[in-house]
Structure 1
């Protein structure tokens, strides 16, 4: 398992120096400043590679850019409207430029409008650590009384609507603005930010896009880009929905094993793969992460290893981001399944037998509280997670001889 670390570029409060000292050898990054729908040019890619390879004092870091996260898919592509064909061509050209630079793994997602959704970016735990959280009552309060989208009442049962009303009335204007900002925070590090009016406009345009239609658009997208990726020796890996249940009346098409299998089968190519995110998929109690790794593992090209604690029994509910070896996902069983897949790949002669993973997210602990890093991406919290995962890997590898 290749130890990687997400980095948001030179402005990131967690530097390449920090990453190398944490023990990661590969970097997961993107050209966050490039507008969605625009080609990633070769010179920009080369510049980011130079930044990855350099410490703050200018000496070599020994780090390499191993995984792209993310090459964003525009809303026009997802909706098949506006400039979607031009955006599609720019996406393909970006693949060519990435392949020329020697980068082989490209993570992306097909989530409509919001790339991930949390209601609290700094929720305090009993030990003083903070983490990201999704509170269903808070989200319903946002949806019902701040966004106030058309037909919203039908998405919430009466008891939840009443709880959301009380929660909203308890908030002052500052709290309401903070909740709104958290929900529409968007893709980490991205240049694109949405206002409430932007969200309302996108939601209106999705009124006629059902789950089946969005899946069809996704398959159309893959039909266009996967042959390019395969010809270039690239591995594309779609990130699942986060959270993996419907929000804001939007369709979800990458939330379950059945969803993932449908997409893999629709465009059956080794270049069409998955990012197995244990945190996103682990929000649903009906997602068996070790089993998914065993059954879909030959097409898993990238791993996000983090844990969540569910606060309820239903498919849709509140959750928070727990420590990497806590929470509701059996991380030891999942890592064991990953190592078994790597063994199978190596025995079959696959060159990509080592699967890159990163310690996804992490709780803010110790000096993280003063660093002001990207929400969900603390230095020490991720270092702790990586150390714990590294220990699990070492123990399981030793036990297997």
Structure 2
């Protein structure tokens, strides 16, 4: 506890770099799939299994493994997960078998939700309850960096040096975090162990299920568009590759800024933020759809989109679930990770369907429709939460 009181900044920094390493392992290969296909003599579609099966592993283990490990010393569990990621990364560098590469990705994917869940829980519990959203927001900077910055960094190393060097970069990040956790993070035993049944009991709350659906839809609204934004900027906005790269870089920076803003807004105005962020995102998509062919306005709009997306897909989504299942934090964070990954898969699938059937300019409709549905869920969530509070007050 003394460490948490005097070294909170160092702890949160280690957690932030940790989630960057975990997310970079998941997303970094997206930018080098053609190289992987060539190196392992498979098609790009087959290479894509490295991404889709990783996400499937997360979705399957998300509600289960964080709960299984919830009663163990948190530092030891984090070291276990980081160790598994390091081994998987090292195997990925040296293997010549695509099957082995798949296994080296799937096994860490199963443990991915454990570290993510612990990172949010530890960050939030290291400060007061009022300051928790800000602490979690800082950790989410690592999430955004891993999802947005990791892809171009890994791609750059691959293009400049080699596939092996790109995978080495991913491994080095996780090794650094493993060593930092070993040296600077103290033992963190769970003082109040809740039974699995007690933690599972939060699933009886309708407001939790509504929150999970809202998170799924919000993540679908972001990734249903983001998955195809490069092609959109090429085909609809007619941006050059250089301008497109700059725009996506601005999106990534705005994404990280959105984490900080959302953390502060959720701390001060949580009720308003729950509706405000999705509503603004919906407006951005509508304007996007109307002025998609104009480069400068689209570039500026992409920055605003990045701020809102960063605040929503990280801080807001996590808050929606953790705030209604705070008595089972590890399990709740596992549900958050699963809901986000299912939302990403659903959004990308529908975005791809619209792209193939109607054209890339209509991909924006995935964002609009998903936001509208999420707002309906959030209004239902607000009604259920208020009803629960009135019932509790009457006791």
- Normalising by structure 2, we get a TM-score of 0.26
Q: Flag the structure with higher helix content.
A: 2
Q: Between the two structures, name the one with larger relative contact order (CA 8 Å, sep ≥ 6).
A: 2
Q: Flag the structure with higher strand content.
A: 1
- Normalising by structure 1, we get a TM-score of 0.26
